[in-house]
Each structure stands twice: as C-alpha cells, then as structure tokens.
Amino acid sequence: MRTAKIDILYVVIGWVLTIFSVVMLYRQGVTRSFFHQDDVVELAVVADWQGWKTVGHPNNEHLNITFWPLLRAEWSLFGINYAPYMLINTLLHVIVLGLMFSITYRLTQSFVWASLPVWGMVINSSWFTVVWWITGQMFFLATIFALLSYWIILKIIEKPRSEILVLVLYVLSILPGLSWGIGLTWPIWPFLIFGFDYLKKRINKIGYALVSAQLTLGIIYFSFIGSNLSVHTDPKTWLSNPLAIIKFVIMGLSKTVAGRWLWPSESLRASFVAIPLLLVLVLIYKSRRKLVDKHVLFGLVVAVGSFVTLAVPRWKFGIEHALANYYAYFPLSFLLIGVAVLLSRMKFTGIRRVLVLSVFLIHIPLSWIGFEIWAKIWVIRPQLTRAYFNELSSTLPGTCIEDVFIPEFIVPQRIWRIDFLWPIFKKDFDPFCNRKIEP
C-alpha cells in the first residue's frame, strides 16, 4: 500500500476516533458527573457578584480575571444546570484542538502530521479534571491564549513589518497569566526561542512585545494578589531548596505529562521504558542534527518552564502536587506540537511511518481505559453533590433549614456554611430562620 493510501486510512480512523471522543466526553460528563468541590466554591463567588472586586478576586495565589466574567455569564444563563457548562467546556477543548492543528499544519504543511497532536490531546486519562470540572475553564483559557500568541508569533515571522500583529501579541501574551497561575511566566518561554537573536545578540520585535507583556503581567499580578501571594507558603522560602524544585519538575513531566500519555492505564514502568527508547531512536537517526528546530525546542521549553512555574511556590506541598491531573493540559499541548514537528522532519516512510501513526491511534482507546479508571472514583462526590443541590433547590418559602457547614463530600474542610451556597440557587427568600451557631 502506498504512503498516500496509508495516510488517508489513518486520517479517517484518527478523526473518527477524535470526534467520537469529543462526543463521549460531553455525554459521559453530563450523565455521570456534576459540579466538583472547587466548582461549587467558584459558583458561590460569582453568585455574590461585586463587580470589579470579583473580577480581581484572588483564587489562592492565582488570578482568574478572564475566568470570573465567563463563569458569571454562564451562571446567569444556566444556574445550576450542569449540561450547558459541560457544553462550554467541550467547545473550549475543541478550540484548543483546532489551534493545535492550525499551528502544526503551518509548521509541517502536512494534514497527517498536523493531526497527530489532536489525536494525542483529544483524550487523556487526566482530562476528567479538565473537561468535567467547571474550573477547567481556567486551564482552557490559559492554553487558548498561549496558543493564540504562538500562532501570532508565526504570523509575525512571516510578516515582520506588521506593527498590528506585534500589538496583538503583546495583549495575548498577558492573558494566559490572567487566566491561571501556570501562565504567569508564559512570555518568558517564547522570548527565549523567538524573541532574542542569539547571533546578533539583540532583542527583536517579538522579544520587545514579550518583555513588555511580562512586565505588564507582573504589575497587574502583584497589584491584585497582595498578601494572597503567601496564602500557602512564604515566598521567601520558594527558592530555598533547588533540588526539591528539580525533583518536582522531573516527576511532573515524567509521570503527569509523559507518563500518563505514553501509558494511560497508569503502569508507569512502561513509560520509563518508552522514553529512553524514543531518545535512542532520535539519537541513532542519521540526520539527527537537522531534526531539532526552534519549534521542537519550544515545545520542550514550555513543558519544562510550566512545571518550574508550578514547582517554585508549591514544592513544599510534597511531590503529590506534581502529579495533579490538570497540570498536564497546558504543557502537553505544546509538547505534542513539538513532537509532531520532530516526527515530520524525520520523514518516515513504510513500516516506520505506520508504526508512528499507530502509536497515536492506539493511544486514544488506551487513554479511555485510563480515563475510566480515574473517573470511576472521582464521580462519586459530584453525584452526591447533585443530589444535595436538588434538595436545596427544592426548598420552598416558609421552609426552615439550619445554617450548618457544607457537607464534607462537597468541601472536606469546615470553612463555609450553607448560606455561602444559597445565592447559587437564585432564591428570593431566606430559609435560615433558626441559624445554628457551631463552635
């Protein structure tokens, strides 16, 4: 069978599996999941909307300036109807996939190689924490804005005289950090690859836009975050243990990002075998010097840089934090683009091309196995929350309920009482006729 026919066959199978996965992510989410712990808290925040104060509301050490207005609009339209939120999440996930395809196609000029990142990203054993959790919109927004700024960088490289594109790049490069904490250092990573001319030793137009974006982002961040910067750990201790930071980054990349991608069913031994094999394959390739270009390197830099950003304030929490499922989404999108560009430059033919394409296709059903293993456990609490929300939502005027702490299956810590959640249900009466004060 000729290469063209093989490509057509794999493209058809790959995109059928992709569409199936997107549909099933939505359907399974609507039927099996509901608002999770952080979702409930964030809904309560936007239900008690206080204008700009809420927009700049710090979420621990994160700023979610782009997220709060979006969630407020959703809550105003949908209330506690979970299905429309799931639809928004699914659409945002599709936008990420579309941007990955567009960028990779621009870099490879190949429909086949541009499809690989999409097949690798559409489903992952970790995605229930992103696609099924409403707070996943923070990760989606940060990833979308970062991918858009990458796309603009490619346009500027094609049209270096366009001042408008440089201005757009400046604005877009600020937004990832205003969506989620992992984006706070975003402008640094494209600056290292595209913003500095290492031969002439000077900053180019792209670099000036990125440096300006990083400075602006820093000013906005510290203006809003204030004392919340030390909500979990003392900033003075963040860089006190470089070895712990390095370990956090290595464990996060090897297990959370690469490990669960290479072997979604969580047998991490297989991933530690596959990674060295991949490196050996690259090293023995006769034209390896021509394989790694800026875009391949960029994918790796973003992946490593993202986990460094996470590690610096959070290494004290322990290595388990490096294994948090949702940390994989942002870095994996760029890493897969880099891998696709690398594979396209290797110019595989015959059986080697079939093997490479097969790995990405087989990954989709394998990821569903890993996804199910995780989801089966993590949908228990949201299902309990659904029943509890239905009970509160059915409260009628004149009913008297006690203002006790929110159940632990929603928020394990005894922090908020039911009156914190009450605005979510859009009721125009106060049911707490006998407020119970607990010690």
pLDDT surpasses 60 at 119: yes
User: 81 φ, ψ to 5°?
Assistant: -80, 105
Residues in CB range of 90: below 8 A, 6 or more apart: 22, 25, 26, 29, 131
pLDDT tens digits for range 92-107: 999 999 999 999 999 9
pLDDT surpasses 90 at 277: no
pLDDT level of residue 439 (50, 70, 90 thresholds): very low
For residue 60, give the 3-state DSSP assignment. coil
Mean pLDDT of 150-168: 94
pLDDT score recorded for residue 237:
76
Q: Which two tokens stand for residue 220?
A: 């906005």
pLDDT score recorded for residue 235:
74
- What number of other Cβ atoms are within 10 A of residue 370's Cβ? 22
pLDDT surpasses 60 at 366: yes
Whether the model pTM is above 0.75? yes
Residues 178, 162: contact at Cβ < 8 Å? no
pLDDT level of residue 401 (50, 70, 90 thresholds): confident
pLDDT, the chain, mean: 87
pLDDT tens digits for range 201-256: 999 999 999 999 999 999 998 888 866 666 566 677 778 888 988 888 888 887 77
Helices (H), 175-284: 188-190, 205-225, 242-251, 258-262, 268-284
Residue matched to tokens 């941007």: 99
What whole-number distance in Å separates Cα of residue 109 and Cα of residue 88?
Answer: 30
